Structure 1
Amino acid sequence: MPSYVTDANLSSYELAFCGGMAGVVSRAVIAPLDVVKIRMQLQTHRTHFGFNPLSSDVKYSTIRQALKTILKEEGVRGLYKGNMPAEYLYLSYSAVEFWAYKELEQAMEGLDKKGKVPHTIKTFGCGMIAGCAATAATYPFDLLRTRFAMNKEPQMANISVTQAMVDIYNKEGPRGFYRGLWPAIIQIMPYMGLLFSSYDVFAKGFKNYKPTHDMASGAMSGFFSKIVVYPFDLVRKRMQMEGSHRAESNNRRLSWLTCIKTIVKQEGIRSLYKGLAPSLLKVAPANAVTFMVFEETKDLLIWFKEYN
């Protein structure tokens, strides 16, 4: 039995096209919040649970204040730093992800012809593996997005994606494109598994409330999944920035586990959730738009095939 995401009338390549379209549109919607989230994640001030007055040296304290600061210092373009590699990332990531999900679902249905494996387990497993495949395939774009989002030097404002890739290769070698890959994989496995399985449940439950149910289901599934895996997202961003700092010129690399321990020791355990608020504000509309555009594109392709 196919999940709500897939459709028997569409091939994996057609679903990849739907996913790519959804990725491009959703990225355009959430770009400013993504920049704010990354800026907050990379601040190294200590945080505590409970009442936590921010010190004066914390540059980005709240979402509103961070947006105003970036606009004042860097203009509107500052809110879209890293958007080009991010568009490449969302386009390719979503295309690979939905293609892999369809292929995995078909393979799993073939192996479990008697239907002994619960449907939720299937959607979780397919989402988990599809997310890993998409992350590994598109990770350099994710790293470039982070580097561009944190770049505040005026002379570097017009650097192209190609120039940035050449610079990373020359200074850090091929491994430089994959800094922080392991926490990304560890994060994406439960995240995408939960995202697809919970979306399947929500979407089937709300299917009588079209056209808004795709957006609502996507928003709720993204919100729930992001909270669970957020610390690994923060660690990934910290590791991605290692090679861009002069202090890291000796090519010293920290493992993701060492990075977590260092953050907790120096900044407090609550620091593993720095930037969570803009991330949650971002993930709800991002997944809402992603699944809405995906479903609408899917319906359009099905209509076009039937019409012809």
Structure 2
Amino acid sequence: MPSYITDSRLNGYEAAFCGAMAGVVSRFFTAPFDVVKIRMQLQPHRTQFHLKQASPSSHVKYDRVLPALKTILREEGVRGLYKGNLAAEYLYLLYNAVEFCAYREIELAIEKLDSKKQLPGSAKTFLGGMLAGCVATSITYPLDLLRTRFAMQGTHNQQYTGIVQAVKLIYRTEGVAGFYWGVWPAVIQIMPYMGLVFASYDHIASAFKAARENGTLSADYKPIHDMLSGALSGVLSKTAVYPMDVVRKRLQVQGPSRKHYVIDSIPEYATRSWFKCMTSIAEQEGVSSLYKGLTVSLVKVAPAISLTFFVYEKTKDTLLSWKE
């Protein structure tokens, strides 16, 4: 029995279209939080875990979510909150199209292989999400790197003025390998992350579906149930794998372009090793620095995953109604 996400009435192209629509809409509404998160992650100051809200540090430019948003608005205007958004829109469109299409095909393949139904449903959705995320990340990673570098530029003396120009410049100065700074932590992070997202979403959404079918909950609120399922799955999954996201961002901004970024003294790592980078951050800035930007990331990921699955489900329902 396929998961709540997959519908046998949709083919791979239709699943990809639903995913692409979900990615574009989700990205547009959450872009400002992504810019703030990236800048928080790349600040090299030492941090510590606090039970209470720590007072802002005078030498830290982006310290908390709202003050950071205000700083970017004041210095760079509204456009500053959408830096790198074009590359990110392409990224999310392609990423979600590949991911949902791959998830459908992988899940159906697992169903065929597990003809005796020995694997539990949660294991199948986790495996399907894990492999789909790995495939989508590997294919779209250069766009992710471009998104990060655009988001780090100031308003003056910009090194990257457009996607085509940025691609040519990175290729000329860093070679093909320049497009894949931090690809290993990205893949290592995304596999458990998307596995957890799909597995937890399927579990929560299926529980809502059962409650609707037995009359406990009204079917009129299905969109809200889908959004709640997405938000909860996103928060749980992002928290579990967040340190790898920080390492990925640190590695993505390596190279000759570092002097053009809005944050001074971004650490330079002599290695592409994600593990050495992670240990270096922990030693120099404290273990809690591996969670820099977690708050804004959760503020972003809850509506992002929520919108992604909401738009996916609505697009899926629309396509199915047209087919019928």
TM-score range, shorter chain: over 0.9
Q: TM-score if structure 2 supplies the norm length?
A: 0.91
The equivalent of 1:183 in structure 2 is 185
The equivalent of 1:263 in structure 2 is 281
C-alpha offsets along residues 277-304 of structure 1, whole Å, 9 cap, x if unaligned?
1100000000111000000000011011
The equivalent of 1:91 in structure 2 is 93
Contact 2:48–2:286 under 8 Å retained in 1 = yes
Q: TM-score if structure 1 supplies the norm length?
A: 0.96
Structure 2 unaligned residues grouped into runs of 5+:
213-220, 260-264
The equivalent of 1:109 in structure 2 is 111
The equivalent of 2:84 in structure 1 is 82
> How many residue pairs are counted as aligned between the two chains?
305
- Cα distance in structure 1, aligned partners of 2:4 and 2:10: 13
> What letter matches 1:10 in structure 2?
L
Instruction: Tell me whether 1:17 sits opposite 2:39 in the alignment.
Output: no
Cα displacement (A) at 1:257: 0.6
The equivalent of 1:132 in structure 2 is 134
The equivalent of 2:154 in structure 1 is 152
Cα displacement (A) at 1:254: 3.2
Please list, as runs of the form range in 1=range in 2, the aligned pairs for 1:1-308 lying within 5 A after superposition: 1-50=1-50, 52-156=54-158, 159-207=161-209, 208=212, 209-243=221-255, 244-245=257-258, 252-306=270-324
Cα displacement (A) at 1:54: 4.0
Helix, strand or coil: the match of 1:242?
coil
Helix, strand or coil: the match of 2:223?
coil
Cα displacement (A) at 1:251: 9.6
> What letter matches 1:266 in structure 2?
Q
Cα displacement (A) at 1:13: 1.4
- Cα distance in structure 2, aligned partners of 1:149 and 1:198: 31
Cα displacement (A) at 1:206: 1.2
Distance 1:251 1:265, change over 3 A: closer
Helix, strand or coil: the match of 1:2?
coil
- Cα distance in structure 2, aligned partners of 1:13 and 1:103: 11
- Cα distance in structure 2, aligned partners of 1:55 and 1:64: 15
Most deviating of 157-166 and 283-292 = 157-166
| Identical-pair percentage | 60
Helix, strand or coil: the match of 1:254?
coil
C-alpha offsets along residues 208-228 of structure 1, whole Å, 9 cap, x if unaligned?
241211100000000100000
Most deviating of 157-166 and 195-204 = 157-166
